[in-house]
A and B are shown apart, each in its own frame.
Chain A
Amino acid sequence: MQNFKNSRLFGYFILGAMVLFFYALFKVLSPTNFGSPANLYSYFQSSIIYSVGGCGLYFIVVMGLFDFAVGSNIVLSSIIGVILSEKFGYLGFVVGCLGCGTLIGILIGFLYNKLNVPSMIVTVGLMLVFESLAVFVAGGVKQTLAPELRFFSGAPGNIILAALAFALMWFILNYTRIGTYCNAIGSNEFTAKNMGIDVKKYKLIGFALLHFFVGIMAILTVSYGTTMTALTGMSTMSRNFQPLMGTFFGVAFRKYGTPISAIVIGEFIIAIIFNGFVALGAPTTIQNVVTGAALLIIVTLTARGKRGSVVK
């Protein structure tokens, strides 16, 4: 029984049970407006953007780092991508988003290593810079993706792109040193150093990978919405949190060896809850309260430390 409780199968079992629970709950409360197969497909499509971001964030959160510049990078990268798409079509769009995203990740990682201050402070500072930069690059104009470049705005384009992102993360975690070393650094940085791991290098790689995934998020975000407007005053901050919720699921289910599935299914659960409240006609504030509470309950039930253990 103890072995089963630590197994991958048990992880999937809990995730599946949570999906069924929330689905059943809202289906009972709102049988007509919620939960048809078409609705579920729609919830899934809306969740995969955040799942992609959650996968990227996993690389740094597992090392004990945070990044509040994700939202500002989504805005900046998508604006750059759209601008480049006007000249180079899909190539400009994809390379613009991914290239800008990754370069920003490298810059954050570099500054974090050089400044030697907490990642939260570095990324909050840079978020303000990137927001202003986005306004400057966009020239104060709303950027619109050309209709002929919207392959990723819906199925199958968005699902193919997200699936490629998930596959990439699975490959990195299981078949490269990066996954092992990120986990090792998060577990004990001093020991990791003594094992010959270049901690600074892998933190920089972690930030670069995160923002490569943010670049993919930028492609999906602007494809879904078709336009992107640059705003200042920390308005991009709210974009950080939904991917982070998926990452919490991933970190929580790491012990079962199922972080990617947990991120994807976790974001799907959050989408079910959001849409469940929409179906019930609940005001947005109530939706946010209940979604936040649901996240806390889920993570508490699945990932809390042993009784008496110190949690920071």
Chain B
Amino acid sequence: MSNDKILLKAEHIDKRFGITHAVNDVSITINAGETRALIGENGSGKSTFCQMLCGIYSIGGGTFTLDGQEMHVKNQVEANKLGVSIIVQEMGTLSGLTVAENIFLGHEDPFMHYGIKDTHAMIKEGQRLLDEYGFNNIRAGAMIDSYNFEDRKLVEIVKATYMKPKILIVDETTTALSQNGRLELYKIMDAVRADGRSVIFISHDLREILEHCDTISILRDGEYIDTVNSKDVNEDDLKRLMVGREIGSAYYRTDYGKPISDEVVLSVKNVSVYGQIEDVNFDLHRGEILGFGGLSECGMHEIGKAIFGASWGRKGTVTLADGTNIDDIPSAIKHSIAYASKDRDNESIILNESIRNNVVLPSLDDLAEKHILKSGKLNKFAQEYADKMQTKMQSIHQFISDLSGGNKQKVVLARWLGKGSDILVLDSPTRGIDVKVKQAIYALMSELTAQGKSIIMISEEIPELLGMSDRIFIMKDGKINGTFNRSETLSEEDLIAKMV
């Protein structure tokens, strides 16, 4: 669909955050009718680049020229008016407003007459758009709060695309969507391309990128590396371009047929959480990686919370080998259970705190000497485990909010490594994380299980489940619907058959 007309020209785009050079003199051009993927490790500058394009960040240097016109935008609405819109990874709709108010936020002018808003016309137009997109289960006049995360993401898709932007940026959105939601998004991306407009698509799922994008631009450490045609490369080529070296066979585990220890370290019996999971039973063995998979909303994420004592109204028992019951978070931590949530920023880390304080948090009792905490000891402890995880940081005193998603996850893991946890519950451990950090996390998981530690890995990524788990439980409607042992012959289709 791409033609030779240049739609977007980015010349010498530059951005610094303090001493971090987030985007370093990046120049790319995107043709009309093209879907361009932007890939790179966490912290490579791809999101920052796009956020400058759509007015969320000011431009540090360089120029964007859209359809021959140089852009000078101060916020998203100004970018929208020039023809650039974005769908973000996290929640992009606002509570307390109706669906229609969210769709038209900042664009109310067509509904304003002498300062008075024609609310009925706004709702009617919102509903017309929702129906046109096929999202007719969503009511434009209803409060946005009455819809779940995925429906709100669909509203955001309408909001970003109804005005037919010349450039649509999709920033790691697909991980928030179910398979159906993803298909709807792909259809919209195809329609944009067919219409002679362009899409910038950011994702860590390389297979998805190769399937849906025409060309791929690679950024590394804020610098432009190359642009390639999707037809000319494979996943390994992209990994190599992203990381700057070969990422090959060591990506996932290669061992098969390793016997699972008979020693049970954790027993989950008849565990239910109302509306989430029902009558779940399983044993976790020493040195095992037990994978949980399924469609979003299948209940698998609640499993992690239930084991860690973080579920409200949990029924049933979670018991350690010595008979200790785990009913709440303090007892879970005390008895060497660690938990890394899928919602990293809200549930795993304290954003407005330093890396040091995030790492030492659960270990303060162990580090205290006669109830006194000594700064030097805390620093040493945090430095040791942050280094062990090869966290990319300026110092342990840097705020964790400054780090990329992958490095935040390293801090979370450093915290539990430091605590010496024997059972790790990792929910979506590589969500939004680039291949290099993924590889490091997988290597760490193998190392930990070799030491006799046990891992429950909850994942929405089927290759990850197949590649890393000793056993896989597939959840459906809150129940375990299928159990698989690690095998070379196990396929994605086998797992999918139990998910749907």
Residue numbers in B under 8 Å from A194 (CB-CB): 55-56, 75-77
In angstroms, how far is the closest chain A Cβ from the Cβ of B99? 12
Residues 286-312 of A, flagged 1 when their CB comes within 8 A of B and 0 if not, give 000000000000000000000110000
Stretch of A98-106, A125-133, A181-189, A208-216 contacting B (4+ beta carbons < 8 Å): A181-189
Secondary structure class of chain B's binding surface, majority of residues = loop
CB contacts under 8 Å to B, within A254-291, are 254-255, 257
B146 at the interface (CB under 8 A from A): yes
B250 at the interface (CB under 8 A from A): no
Also in contact, A177 and B55, with CB within 8 A (given A6-B146, A62-B96, A196-B78): no
Residue numbers in A under 8 Å from B146 (CB-CB): 3, 6, 255
Instruction: Determine if A177 and B76 form an interchain contact, defined as CB atoms under 8 angstroms apart.
Output: no
Instruction: Determine if A175 and B119 form an interchain contact, defined as CB atoms under 8 angstroms apart.
Output: yes
For the side of the interface on A, what is the size category? 20 to 34
Residues 445-481 of B, flagged 1 when their CB comes within 8 A of A and 0 if not, give 0000000000000000000000000000000000000
Stretch of B101-109, B187-195, B358-366 contacting A (4+ beta carbons < 8 Å): B101-109
B482 at the interface (CB under 8 A from A): no
The CA of A62 and the CA of B94, in the complex, are separated in Å by 13
Residue of A nearest to B112 (CB): A177
Also in contact, A180 and B75, with CB within 8 A (given A6-B142, A194-B56, A307-B313): no
Instruction: Determine if B106 and A195 form an interchain contact, defined as CB atoms under 8 angstroms apart.
Output: yes
B497 at the interface (CB under 8 A from A): no
Residue numbers in A under 8 Å from B78 (CB-CB): 196
In angstroms, how far is the closest chain A Cβ from the Cβ of B91? 8
Residue of A nearest to B117 (CB): A175
The count of residues in chain B whose C-beta lies closer than 8 Å to any C-beta of chain A is: 29
Residue numbers in A under 8 Å from B97 (CB-CB): 180, 183-184, 187
B77 contacts which of A174, A180, A195 (Cβ < 8 Å)? Answer: A195
Instruction: Determine if A176 and B313 form an interchain contact, defined as CB atoms under 8 angstroms apart.
Output: no
Residue numbers in B under 8 Å from A176 (CB-CB): 115-117
A191 at the interface (CB under 8 A from B): yes
Residue numbers in B under 8 Å from A191 (CB-CB): 92, 94
In angstroms, how far is the closest chain B Cβ from the Cβ of A200? 14
Residues 119-156 of B, flagged 1 when their CB comes within 8 A of A and 0 if not, give 10000000000000000000000110110000000000
Residue numbers in A under 8 Å from B71 (CB-CB): none
A193 at the interface (CB under 8 A from B): yes
Instruction: Determine if A174 and B96 form an interchain contact, defined as CB atoms under 8 angstroms apart.
Output: no
B143 contacts which of A6, A177, A197, A307 (Cβ < 8 Å)? Answer: A6
Instruction: Determine if B108 and A184 form an interchain contact, defined as CB atoms under 8 angstroms apart.
Output: no
Instruction: Determine if A184 and B96 form an interchain contact, defined as CB atoms under 8 angstroms apart.
Output: yes
Residue of A nearest to B311 (CB): A308
In angstroms, how far is the closest chain B Cβ from the Cβ of A263? 16
Residue numbers in A under 8 Å from B119 (CB-CB): 174-175
Secondary structure class of chain A's binding surface, majority of residues = helix
CB contacts under 8 Å to A, within B228-286, are none
B95 at the interface (CB under 8 A from A): yes
The CA of A6 and the CA of B139, in the complex, are separated in Å by 12
In angstroms, how far is the closest chain A Cβ from the Cβ of B83? 15
Residue numbers in A under 8 Å from B118 (CB-CB): 175
B17 at the interface (CB under 8 A from A): no
A231 at the interface (CB under 8 A from B): no
Residue numbers in A under 8 Å from B56 (CB-CB): 194
B94 contacts which of A3, A187, A254, A308 (Cβ < 8 Å)? Answer: A187
In angstroms, how far is the closest chain A Cβ from the Cβ of B123? 11
Residue numbers in B under 8 Å from A255 (CB-CB): 143, 145-146
Residue of A nearest to B116 (CB): A175
A192 at the interface (CB under 8 A from B): yes
In angstroms, how far is the closest chain A Cβ from the Cβ of B79? 9
Residues 195-229 of A, flagged 1 when their CB comes within 8 A of B and 0 if not, give 11100000000000000000000000000000000
Of A184, A194, A308, chain B has the most CB atoms within 10 Å of the CB of A194
Residue of A nearest to B118 (CB): A175
The CA of A9 and the CA of B312, in the complex, are separated in Å by 29
Instruction: Determine if B75 and A254 form an interchain contact, defined as CB atoms under 8 angstroms apart.
Output: no
CB contacts under 8 Å to A, within B37-61, are 55-56
B310 at the interface (CB under 8 A from A): yes
The CA of A195 and the CA of B118, in the complex, are separated in Å by 20
Residue of A nearest to B57 (CB): A194
The CA of A118 and the CA of B145, in the complex, are separated in Å by 27
The CA of A257 and the CA of B142, in the complex, are separated in Å by 9
Residues 87-120 of A, flagged 1 when their CB comes within 8 A of B and 0 if not, give 0000000000000000000000000000000000
Instruction: Determine if A186 and B108 form an interchain contact, defined as CB atoms under 8 angstroms apart.
Output: no
The CA of A260 and the CA of B112, in the complex, are separated in Å by 23
B105 contacts which of A3, A184, A186 (Cβ < 8 Å)? Answer: A184
Residue numbers in B under 8 Å from A184 (CB-CB): 94, 96-97, 101, 105
23 contacts between A and B (CB under 8 A): A6-B143, A62-B96, A180-B97, A180-B105, A180-B117, A183-B101, A187-B95, A187-B96, A191-B94, A193-B75, A194-B55, A194-B56, A195-B76, A195-B106, A196-B75, A196-B76, A196-B78, A197-B105, A197-B106, A255-B143, A257-B143, A308-B310, A308-B312
Given contacts A175-B118, A177-B108, 16 further A-B contacts (CB under 8 A): A6-B143, A174-B117, A175-B119, A176-B117, A177-B117, A180-B108, A183-B94, A184-B94, A184-B101, A191-B94, A194-B55, A195-B77, A195-B105, A308-B310, A308-B311, A308-B312
Interface residues of A (CB under 8 A from B): 3, 6, 62, 174-177, 180, 183-184, 186-188, 191-197, 254-255, 257, 307-308
Interface residues of B (CB under 8 A from A): 55-56, 75-78, 92, 94-97, 101, 105-106, 108, 112, 115-119, 142-143, 145-146, 310-313
